[in-house]
Structures are given as C-alpha cells and as structure tokens.
C-alpha cells in the first residue's frame, strides 16, 4: 500500500521518510492542502525506474521499426556478430 504523508511530515520527519524510502524501496507520496504535491524516493529506486523507462522506450522504437518494415537480421546472426566482436566462444 502506498505511503502518503502530509508535507509537514517531510519538514518534521525527514530522516524517517528517508529511511522508509530506502528500507521499503518504494516512493512516499507527499500531500499539500490535502492534494498530491510531491513524490519522494531513494536514488537507487529512481535509477531503477529510469532504467525501466529507457528500456520501454527502446522497445517501443524497435516495435515501431518492425511494424514499419525496417530490415532485421535473424537472432542467430546477431549473436554470431556479437560473439565475434567481443571474442566470445
């Protein structure tokens, strides 16, 4: 269940909120005047989220290329090229 706290807790209990973000590896939602205002998260969680977004973007580009008929190469051929490039047996 998401952790939702008022903005006053961010000011008064910053260390506790930081600990929650690191321990639970989940964001904490901060409200101001009863409405959503901020999301606080650990740097590690943010980096993981960014990596997922980057991957989704690359997958969307690849899917669009496939739909639009961009030339592709077979899976085995790709891996053979990678193996030879990085000298892997």
Reported as a pLDDT band with limits 50, 70 and 90, residue 48 is: very high
pTM across the whole model = 0.71
Q: What percent of the chain has pLDDT over 90?
A: 89
Q: Tell me, what's the pLDDT at 1?
A: 85
Closest CA to 7 of 44, 35, 43: 35
> Taken in order 60, 62, 66, 69, is the CA torsion positive or negative?
positive
Q: Judge contact between 7 and 31, C-beta under 8 A.
A: yes
Mean pLDDT value of segment 55-72: 93
Reported as a pLDDT band with limits 50, 70 and 90, residue 71 is: confident
Reported as a pLDDT band with limits 50, 70 and 90, residue 72 is: confident
Domains of the chain in start order, with CATH, are: 3-41 (3.40.1620.10), 45-85 (no CATH)
């Amino acid at each position: 269940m998401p952790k939702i706290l008022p903005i006053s807790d961010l000011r008064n209990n910053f260390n506790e909120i930081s600990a929650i973000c690191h321990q639970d590896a989940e964001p904490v939602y901060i409200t101001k005047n009863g409405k959503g205002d901020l999301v606080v998260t650990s740097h590690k969680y943010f980096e993981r989220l960014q990596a997922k977004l980057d991957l989704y973007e690359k997958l969307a580009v690849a899917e669009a290329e496939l739909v639009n008929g961009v030339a592709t190469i077979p899976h085995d051929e790709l891996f053979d090229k990678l193996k030879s490039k990085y000298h892997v047996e």
